[in-house]
Chain A
Amino acid sequence: MTTSTPTRPQPVLQLRDVRKSFGAVVALSAGTLTVDHGSIHALVGENGAGKSTLVKIVAGLYRRDAGDLFLDGEPVDFRSTAESKAAGVAVIYQEPTLFPDLSVTENVFMGRQPVGRFRRIDRRAMRAEVESLFRRLGVSIDPDRPAEGLSIADQQVIEIAKAVSLDARLLVMDEPTAALSGVEVDRLFQIARSLRDEGRGIVFISHRFDEVFDLCDTVTVMRDGAYVATSAVADTSEDRIVRQMVGREVSELFPKLPATLGEALLEVEGLTSTGVFHDVSFTVRAGEIVGLAGLVGAGRSEVARAVFGIDAYDEGSVRVDGRRLRRKDPTAAMRAGLAFVPEDRRKQGLVIDATVARNVTLAIRDRLSRAGLLFSRDENRAARTWASRLEVKTAALDAVAGTLSGGNQQKVVLAKWLATEPRVLVIDEPTRGIDVGTKAEVHRLLSELAGRGMGILMISSELPEVLGMADRVLVMREGRITAELDRADADSESVMYAATHATGAHA
């Protein structure tokens, strides 16, 4: 096995302008990355910047639409995970993937166990090799125990042992530290450094800047599915990386029309759910769009679900029009004038197999029914009103919702809730997976609704959307609100800073 690094002219991994789209959505438009031997290379970017897509292409899970992929200078094209593995690429996913019923040793060697006569698995050799592997990595995990019940940290160690036994030349770690404690992170870093010293290339994806600066020597920033910049960690700074991550002009694509702000409609005070979010307080006024920004996993969607009464909370209160809402009672929330458009419309927002008309009238079927019966005629009439107001592009109201494009599906969900004539709209990721044209329409619509006196709480991971649309921006990090910024004060840097730092904005 390699222990020292002779100078190698070729980088271990090279991607040039790699492209991947899913239907109309471009996940990766220009993926470019060069990783040298004996280097730990950080890959950073906002959620949706295309990091995971890039990793999955390198792992052989996705096939690229265009662009070049080289391993040690050789052009490669992986059609399966088996092929990338055979070429010496090991990927450690955020969630380790082990076989719980099988022993630790078998997990390390599955698919490539050492074999002897009659292709019989040589258990003794396997066992000896796993012991020497673990000793090299400095860990003491019982090789004979089943993988079931291992801590995430230990599972990751096993994934790394797998990679090392494969003699992988390239190791990709996708947010490996997300679930680890401090000591475990230290152990992981130690292992990563020793692998680097053996001349392997390592790609390290993380949202934590301190880790990037502690561990990595080079950093590549991605944004909107494209390469932005690569620099030596020594030559750059946190501020610069943040600027590169968000640094686009906030285009005029998202115009929020000025509206006169009215009385407070939604008041949330001291909302706490143990282990999920803490002491969350904010107000949404009539005619106002409040943006809720932060990284995925910061607890934003959880707050929205608690406000609407889907999930319970431990402490605090939610008021609409000054009247306190009952906990965990979405019906009461709807009656009080709240509407909630969830993040995952296919699973939570739409009845995917039902018609557009059915979907639009779903939330008002009590009002439409006559003597407990629903008539298609009434449904269609009500649906037509809303579908045309939102310009849902569908040939017929009896088209099945699942056949519409993402943008039109989102409009149907919106129509459903607008039909209830709500006073406050809570909307989670309003334009995720929607093409640019429809995005602008959704934004125009939200702005118009606010103009008519509706209060809107908009959760969004897309900074330009938040900055363009919101009158006020709340930033959450790890379950707490870390900053509240007025439209004038909010810019990409201040929001991004608050989303990644425990203390408030520095702007």
Chain B
Amino acid sequence: MSAPPIARTDVTRHLRSVGAAREVGILLALLVVIALATIANPNFLFSADGWRDLFLTPSILAIVAVGQAIVIITRNVDLSVGSVLGLSAYLTGRLFIDLEGIPTSAVVVIVVAFGALLGLVNGVLVAFAKVPALVITLGTLYAYRGINVMWAGSDRVNASDLPRDFLALGTGKILFLPVLTLVALVVLVVAGWVLRNLRAGRELYAIGSDPAAAELYGLAVRRRLLAAFVLSGALAGLAGVLYAARYGTVSSQAGAGWELDAVGAAVIGGVAIFGGSGTVWGAALGAVLLMTINRALPILGIPDFWQRAVVGLLIIGAIVLDRVLAVRQKRSLLEAREND
């Protein structure tokens, strides 16, 4: 290399370690929770069911959280994912009941496409009507749920209505990992790779970081937003299929409140609520932490009504941590500039 030298400065090195620290921190918190619960009741980890639930329980939420993270990275939010999940799960049941003998693979394709369609509605409204996603998806949250209630009424899909091999997916495993967990892992790896390595993925970060600048750069902002919402819908649809397989019973209220867990998982996992930074890996880890805490608290003898509060504290803690880190980063960058 010839002059002038372009070296990686201390600041950058420091920032890198902070970025990685986020995922490591969640992982540590997760290990602490698991350790405590296992000490209280060894079955939490050291039983066939315990081991399986550890991975199985967070898998569906992790898939929804990945979709949510993709949307939040663009400085939007998708509050309709719980309703999309519910509607998709019910559609899964209806397909098996109404079209007897339909292959499972066909059901998966139809339901995922259906979820994508619901996401497309969100995306079109956000990208073209220029109404904040918070309002649009709050509307579709109620609208989709309303359709679900109208369609299902007091009826519900029962495990006995579903083919046995489909239900086996919900609890089965390959080698030592549950099938659902493997599906979630595949989703995670693909989404993580796309966001990191493709132009389209990087542009999602750019749009979230500064939407006005993205327009000036000439990025295809609308198309990318549309894609983000379609992806979120499709993943919620996939989660709906898995939900039906896992629980067997689907009422018109399936998935109610999941949108908040998904947003919470993303935020805990370090996805900035104002977009532009965070990873799907963080969001998935956040989902795992959230669900594991939910399961661990009763074992630790913490009363039911405290459990929600703990989750709330976790989210607030994560946001405060983000703020503190952001302020510190800004200051250290400014100081580095002064010292130039």
Contacts and interface: CB of A to CB of B under 8 A. Distances in A.
A138 B2 CA distance: 11
A85 B11 contact: no
A143 B6 contact: yes
B198 A119 contact: yes
Contacts of A151: 337
Contact of B276 (A101, A110, A112): A101
A150 B337 contact: yes
A142 interface: yes
B105 to A, nearest CB: 25
A383 B197 CA distance: 64
Contacts of A121: 197-199, 202
B219 A111 contact: yes
Interface in B171-228: 197-199, 202-203, 205-206, 208-210, 212-220
Contact of B12 (A106, A111, A142, A148): A142
A385 interface: no
Nearest to B16: A144
Interface in B319-333: 329-330, 333
Contacts of A374: none
A142 B215 contact: no
Contact of B4 (A81, A102, A138): A138
A115 interface: yes
Contact of B11 (A101, A102, A135, A145): A145
A120 interface: yes
Given A82-B218, A85-B218, A102-B276, A142 B6 contact: yes
B5 interface: yes
A135 B209 contact: no
B247 to A, nearest CB: 37
A169 B336 CA distance: 35
Nearest to B275: A101
B199 A144 contact: no
A312 to B, nearest CB: 27
Interface residues of B, number: 38
A347 B17 CA distance: 45
Interface stretch (A92-100, A237-245, A387-395): A92-100
Nearest to A115: B199
Chain B interface SS verdict (over half):
helix
B106 interface: no
B11 A98 contact: no
Nearest to B193: A120
Contacts of A149: 329-330, 333-334, 336-337
Contacts of B253: none
A131 interface: yes
A227 to B, nearest CB: 26
B171 to A, nearest CB: 35
Interface centre among A110, A115, A134, A135 (most CB of B within 10 A): A110
Nearest to B214: A99
Contact of B199 (A83, A85, A111, A150): A111
Contacts of A115: 199
Interface string B240-263: 000000000000000000000000
A111 B203 contact: yes
Nearest to A120: B197
A308 B205 CA distance: 45
B130 interface: no
A80 interface: yes
Contacts of A141: 6
A146 interface: yes
Contacts of A150: 333, 337
Contacts of A100: 209-210, 276
Given A145-B12, A148-B329, A150-B337, A101 B209 contact: yes
B218 A81 contact: yes
Nearest to B332: A149
A494 interface: no
Nearest to B11: A145
B273 to A, nearest CB: 13
B8 interface: yes
B2 A135 contact: yes
Interface string A124-158: 00000001001100111111111011110000000
Interface of A: 60-61, 80-86, 93, 97-102, 106, 110-113, 115, 119-121, 131, 134-135, 138-146, 148-151
Instruction: List the 8 closest pairs (A to B, CB-CB), nearest first.
Output: A82-B218, A149-B333, A101-B276, A99-B209, A97-B213, A81-B218, A101-B209, A120-B197
Interface of B: 2, 4-9, 11-12, 15, 197-199, 202-203, 205-206, 208-210, 212-220, 272, 276-277, 329-330, 333-334, 336-337
Given A119-B199, A121-B198, A149-B337, 7 more contacts: A61-B216, A82-B218, A99-B213, A101-B205, A101-B276, A139-B4, A151-B337
15 contacts: A61-B216, A99-B210, A100-B276, A101-B272, A102-B276, A111-B206, A112-B199, A113-B202, A119-B199, A139-B4, A142-B7, A142-B8, A145-B11, A145-B15, A150-B333
